[in-house]
Chain A
Amino acid sequence: MSEIASSTWFTTAPHWGWLIVFYYLFGGLAAGSYFIAALIDLIGRREDRPIARMGYFVAIPCLMVSGVLLLVDLYRPDRFWHLFLQSNTMRPIFQYWAPMSIGSWGIIVFSLFALLSFLAALAESRHLSWGWAGHLRPPSIVGRVIAVLGILMAMYVAGYAGVLLAVTNRPLWSDTPLLGMLLGVSAMSISASLLLLIARWRGLKFPGVRSLDRFDSWVIGLTLLVLVAVIVSLGSVARVWLSLWGALLLVAVLVGMIVPLFMRWRSARSAQTSALAAVMVLIGGFILRTVIVFTQQGIQP
């Protein structure tokens, strides 16, 4: 037993499996799409507004899926409201030191902003006849406030997921403080890829489509750096990846990061290449989340 790498080796794995992998995927896509949309709305070109609209449209269904996944993952979904109300006093419960608590509230608050922006996007695309709803998006003052607060909440939702893993005692998860950063940064990259894919598929030609490409490439570069930092910070714990999970991580890095970067660099202006690269980034993002969630599961005392 002298070869244990960390005291985290003596703990029990929670039953967080595929539902959580998909939650991390859809939650990340919701947060990232909103983030990109609101950013374009705030500082982008006017002609790129349809891309922002697309982002708001993507965020809501992704949020709904991720909410259902979280609910179903509870062993007692009928008691999900215990996360928000003290069950015996009916008083609201908020524990700023418990990521599960702040995260649950964070998703609720983020959903509110995402919904407002969604209504604005609907109104602008004339699917909704409430003229006032259009003001919930920039350039109006109210719209700006919503976008700024929404961006902050989106970044929060993208990042807390990894903090939740860190604030445990499981091997890998709690052996580095960097998984939140990794998942958060990667969420932005997969979201940019999803928006790119939709834009390419619809044949959109706005200058913003190329900006998405460029944004994604930079963020992928950043994700790679953070991943290296994760491995370094793990020290001897990193040997958990001398396994099938490590091989899968390598696949995630190649398929989801290195190859798409290379493809975009080689033929920067081809719409097809850009779409193919986007698909690969999404697949890589999914594999990355699978590896992060599952690696620790086999490690029991």
Chain B
Amino acid sequence: MSVELTGAEITIRCLQEEGVQCIFGYPGGAVLFIYDELFKQDKVRHILVRHEQAAIHAADGYARSSNHVGVALVTSGPGVTNAVTGIATAYMDSIPMVVISGQVPTNAIGLDAFQEVDTVGITRPCVKHNFLVKDINELAVTIKKAFYIASTGRPGPVLVDIPKDVSQQKVKFEYPDKVSMRSYNPVTKGHTRQIRKAAELILSAKRPMIYAGGGVILSNAAPQLTELTQLLNFPCTNTLMGLGGYPATDRQSLGMLGMHGTYEANMAMQYCDVLVAVGARFDDRVIGNPKHFFNENRKIIHIDIDPSSISKRVKVDIPIVGDVLDVLKELIKLLKESKEKPDQGALKEWWKQIDLWRERDCLKFDRDSKIIKPQRVIETLFDVTKGDAFITSDVGQHQMWAAQFYKFDKPRRWINSGGLGTMGFGMPAAMGVQLANPKGKVACITGEASIQMCIQELSTCKQYKLPLKIINLNNRYMGMVRQWQEFFHGNRYAESYMNALPDFVKLAESYGHVGMKIEQPGDVEGALKEAFKRKDQLVFLDFITDQTENVFPMVPGGKGLSEMILV
């Protein structure tokens, strides 16, 4: 007979049963019993952030870099509302996460009680699912379900709202080994007939293209994607979310595609005759104007675990609903068994064309500039870290340069907010990455505007000795906004200038970290080397960069992929 435990004890026991080692949170009235139980045990480590948004981003970075479910704990009311930005960020990028929130006692719900918000209502549109646990008997099974839902199918955040009285009540604790839900049965295996059709189409391709997204990372299928691409000698492009799914330094990689993708990737995307979309969702930042995209004829194979991703923005010819990992394995097997091969002559011609596009050298920039070029900082960062760091980023120009110039050869090394584009994501996410990878080199590429959105986390980094390297590409502008204003709003830089900036060196020092200001191109490499030598310290590198630099190529809104603005 199992003993009776309180709801709070049960909550912590469930986390232990799930193998959760680290959670991120911030206490408050409604979760005090849960914090009390955290205090009494040492299996689950709690990281105290300085703002709930950061707790969620940290859990998110933890999940993205480790493939574990990220876990966060916040209190009712303002705790939850602060967490919403983080939850929406994780939702848009399909990140497995469980958020536990406190709620006012059940008998106070609906009475405008102190720190009451309708958490289930507020978060409903930005979670995969959420629960309000009104009955202590349902608590353990609900948490089990939450982990199951968060981590299976198309992953996503799941929130469990626990009223204070439920965390106090007692019941016998039994953690189910498994849950099955008649209303939730995600597919994994793709339809064999569809996969067979896909193989046939692939073999008939003359100008093939593989377009791989975040689904490859989420399903841990980078090795299979690489095998498929190399087996066929096809070109491969990755979305912003898919970087690292195929090694970027390899010849067959065309780099990122889309709004700020490479010339060769966008041209090949536009002019291919067979497109294999793997765990990617034809985002508006990726294919530009869909009408223009369909000016060219091509057949599309689309592998995705979520049926609603298929034929949402772009009609496809061969949909395959399934886990990328399973589907690619089966596809590779079929292709290996087949005696046929794609037309090698045509493929050779296609590669010739692609190499011509490549010669356009679309990512060139002034390497001899007397002012620090942001691209140069990222290239040097790549060299100094030998391409082996975990890179998180905030949102803006710096994010795009990071994506273009840091060549990701491995999955789960590039951690950024793609779908929601949340400024403030970078540093807290990096904390989660560092905690999941204590030995890893972790750098956060940011801008002077973004970093200030969660700057308070420098304190958390001090408390837990997280030796992040903050690469601040300081252009004294909300660069991405300024670029749009330059291109599309007649150079009227409305409110995009960052005035009254802090002295970041002193700021870092006041939190107990190391600060460095770098103003000369010649000092970039030395500074980065010095920073990574300080293995146990957070180093804030404030790079004073060219204010007027823009991100190229660029597909302007409403334009087609082949209508890029080039440098």
Q: Do A and B bind each other?
A: no
Q: Chain A residues in contact with chain B, CB under 8 A?
A: none
